[in-house]
Amino acid sequence: MNLMVFGAPGAGKGTQAKFLIEKYDIPQISTGDILRAAIAEKTDMGMEAKKFMDEGKLVPDSTIIGIIKDRLAEDDCKSGFILDGYPRTLPQAEALKALMSDMGISLDKVISLNVPDSLIVGRITGRRVCSECGASFHVEFNPSKVEDVCDYCSGKLLIRKDDNVETVKSRLEAYHTQTAPLIAFYTDMGVMLKLDGTKEVAQVTEDMFKAIGA
């Protein structure tokens, strides 16, 4: 099952991705994680990315798509994967579609979690992220069993530096300008599943698996 989790920052992508990982036993592919891994492993693409980062420049899409290509070719992706945080723009989506076509794979479903901006700010400022495995929790909507301790690996839960009101509003503006147009792109491809992300976490999860056909 090749999946993508899509939605505004704070929509619950990280939370729902964990349930997908548990059910299908497939890896979550986050561009930030694979970029850091490629640099640590000193792959060709990782070293190319590091050159741009050392110069204080954004890593170009061509390099990112190269790193994604390397990651999708790994053995643990043969049974499927979950893309999280990529693509963010229409050109990236088109490049990803071309890459996957070249590799003989395709997206089965794109899961869009729809949450209005008015709820996003409260969600993000209450978010807690595991310092070890990256699992996402929320003090109100999805609390950990033990306060400030991850349910999955017992790592310490932290508040991300960018989880503040000003930064959230800026990120939402960027999302609506750059990323929201991808809804139409994936709808046209026939793989978009739109879910009401304002429901309780368990209900969103149930709706998601029903929509997938699990």
127 is catalytic: yes
Q: What is the distance between the alpha carbons of residues 36 and 133, in angstroms, rounded to a whole number?
A: 14
128 is catalytic: no
71 is catalytic: no
Which is the catalytic residue, given 50, 171, 194, 199? 171
Which is the catalytic residue, given 78, 160, 169, 210? 160
123 is catalytic: no
Q: What is the distance between the alpha carbons of residues 111 and 30, in angstroms, rounded to a whole number?
A: 15
Surface-to-core class of residue 39, CB atoms within 10 Å of its CB (0-12 exposed, 13-18 middle, 19+ buried): middle
From 80, 100, 103, select the one nearest 92 (Cα to Cα): 100
- Residue spans of beta strands (DSSP E) within the chain: 2-7, 28-30, 81-84, 109-114, 127-130, 136-138, 157-158, 192-196
Whether 5 and 111 have beta carbons less than 8 Å apart is answered as yes
Which is the catalytic residue, given 13, 71, 109, 123? 13
Which is the catalytic residue, given 18, 71, 123, 127? 127
Which is the catalytic residue, given 50, 88, 97, 199? 88
Whether 202 and 12 have beta carbons less than 8 Å apart is answered as no
What are 190-195's contacts with CB under 8 Å, separation 24+? 191/107, 191/108, 191/109, 191/110, 192/109, 192/110, 192/112, 193/109, 193/110, 193/111, 193/112, 194/112, 194/114, 195/111, 195/112, 195/113, 195/114
Q: Which residues are catalytic?
A: 13, 88, 127, 160, 171
